[in-house]
Structure 1
């Protein structure tokens, strides 16, 4: 690999398209609970962590079992388990938490990063487990709709990432080879699936988590999306 190509792989410069995971990558999945942390009490972070963990677990179990249920439904089911695990938390907060999840905060660097990449001539897309309605609401609430060219939801396939067909939504719809697409996710398991598919992958390791899946290593690791502009 020559020096210019090596820089591209490490820093994400020069790709025809940048495809982003949504939840945890563009949108802060814990912001819904933080908005109500006072009402939730001292266990709010553990509650939020469990909500996210169960939400993801349910996607994998349903995909492997061939029993698809959409992401909005799984988000509600995961929340109900959290209330069962934390019976001291007032269940009347359920509706408020679900509303907050539909309008998650985006991470502070997102607008500038997306705008800069578009100015460089790249196409910008989202590829997510979220339903089209969920993604439309999240994008609108974050005010980044003008910075996104395409939004791809696995709901059209009825199977979740890391199924190869989920990543193929991007190549087929954008008319690009996998090698011409840079894929960004905060989820290491998602990076593993995208790398297996053939994307150049950038792991946005916001939490400083240890690496996994060494045979499916990311091409770059950044603490925020600003690493794409370095």
Structure 2
């Protein structure tokens, strides 16, 4: 019997995803991590800022935030460990037309709770949070953060005005924290409808 790539990947214990300015690489090893097998580059010549492998709900889906000089920043997906990748015809994370914002970069891809296997989040530049409830097929911005009263005060840091950290509460389903450069930390307790600054003790001007 011939062993397929999927069989080989399924029997491998460790997968390391590496994003670079010249593409993405998938590195495979066993638990000893003494030897690695490298695949790539995927998206040759494109900057890959974020990668995620999500096997919740029995779905071995890999996400890559690739930034093409021609197409801009898009979220690509693979259900066969990088054998093939989706090729969206346009950006699949888009701000509302009346917001005046345009997607510059996807900085982070994060899974939702284990109890919500179809929920994922993306932190982007300019600083905003996008959510998917169908396993990454479609995305929408969190309006409560997009229209926050503090938004005019947020300023770019050294890497740009980006939302770079997403933490879901493992117990409280409606609670989540995000952090952005340079707006600081914000928390929601109602599933993203409203957000409060949580910057006591850190150097950020915005306060609750």
Same fold, judged at TM 0.5 (above) = no
- Which has a greater percent of helix? 1
TM-score (norm 2): 0.24
TM-score (norm 1): 0.22
- Which has a greater percent of strand? 2
